[in-house]
Amino acid sequence: MRLMDNRGYAYFAGFHGIPNFWCWHGPQAKDGWPGVRLFLPWHRAYLYRFEKALQDLEPGVVLPWWDWRSANSEQNKIPNAFSETDVDGEPNSLYNYHMRFPEHNIDRETRRFPGKSLRSSDSLPHPDDIEEILDIPDNHFDEFSDSLEDIHGFIHVWTGGQTRQEGKIVSGDMSDIATAAFDPIFWSHHCMIDRLWWEWQKKNGIDEIPDHYREMSLEPFGMTVDETLDIFNLGYDYAGTETTVNGNWSRESNG
């Protein structure tokens, strides 16, 4: 599909970083809402719109979630679905994506150096770290959101990684807000973050969020925070930990 085709991959990946920078981490969003934590609802709306676009092309398809806290991930790092270059003799489209942005001097395949960051730990978060976040009590949404966003950022840097090439430090795409969503594993990482928020919601209440957040608009998705709170109303749920497919995990459509 053409770069700016509103069904195309680059169109949706571009909401996060290059060329549009709508991402909640960025100054365009945060400068407009100082002190407000919309990281979780913004990305839930993002996943929802992207999954709906996929389903327009392939009915029934759902986004997989990557459980990076699992023993399988600790041992194998990136799931096979994203690390194998070929599938049944054909190039694996989840392995990489070719970005072309001449105005940013980008014309290359995905960069990914998992666990090779030169500035941070080469280990994934321990499950106890996640449980500690999930134990944050109700009426503390902002604390929960900030804590989960911190872990999320670590996974971005760990997945993108860094290496040295010709004497220069080169970072993987997941390490950079501008290019993160162009790495296909981005979506599975954020499904995991969304799933952890859902776990916290089930424990503390679906509506556990500051009241003044609820009617805030999540641009450019045409949704409010309130519309993202109950994933059943969005038509999906998360499979339990007993449901695995080749060491990977998936969302379930209720539609």
Ramachandran class of 57: left when φ > 0, alpha when ψ lies in -120 to 50, beta otherwise: alpha
Mean pLDDT confidence for 205-226: 94
User: What is the per-residue pLDDT for 102?
Assistant: 84
Which residue type, as a one-letter code, is found at position 217?
A: S
Q: What is the CA radius of gyration of the chain?
A: 18
Asked if 192 and 65 count as a contact pair (C-beta separation under 8 A), the reply is yes
Q: Which tops the pLDDT comparison, 13 or 250?
A: 13
Ramachandran class of 182: left when φ > 0, alpha when ψ lies in -120 to 50, beta otherwise: alpha
d(CA 27, CA 66) in angstroms, rounded, equals 28
**Burial grade of 105 (CB within 10 A; 0-12, 13-18, 19 or more):** exposed
The residues, ordered by sequence, that sit 6+ positions from 111 with a Cβ below 8 Å of its Cβ are 160, 170, 171, 172, 173
Q: Which two tokens stand for residue 94?
A: 């989840």
Report in angstroms the alpha-carbon separations of 80 from 54, 67, 110, 226. Answer: 21, 13, 16, 36
d(CA 253, CA 255) in angstroms, rounded, equals 5
Q: Which two tokens stand for residue 112?
A: 């990914």
Work out the end-to-end distance of the chain between its first and last CA atoms, rounded to an integer number of angstroms. Answer: 26
pLDDT-derived band at 5, boundaries 50, 70, 90: low
| Coil, helix or strand at residue 173 | helix
Q: Which tops the pLDDT comparison, 70 or 195?
A: 195
pLDDT tens for 77-124 read 889 999 999 999 999 989 988 988 888 888 888 999 988 876 656 678
Share the mean pLDDT of the chain: 86
pLDDT tens for 7-49 read 688 889 999 988 877 786 655 555 556 678 999 999 999 999 9
User: What is the per-residue pLDDT for 247?
Assistant: 40
Domains and CATH numbers, the chain: 9-253 (1.10.1280.10)
d(CA 150, CA 155) in angstroms, rounded, equals 9
User: What is the per-residue pLDDT for 213?
Assistant: 94
d(CA 193, CA 125) in angstroms, rounded, equals 13
pLDDT tens for 112-131 read 998 887 665 667 888 999 99
Asked if 197 and 106 count as a contact pair (C-beta separation under 8 A), the reply is no
CB atoms within 10 A of CB 240: 9
Write down the pTM of the prediction. 0.88
Q: Using DSSP, how many helices (H) and how many strands (E) does the chain show?
A: 9, 11
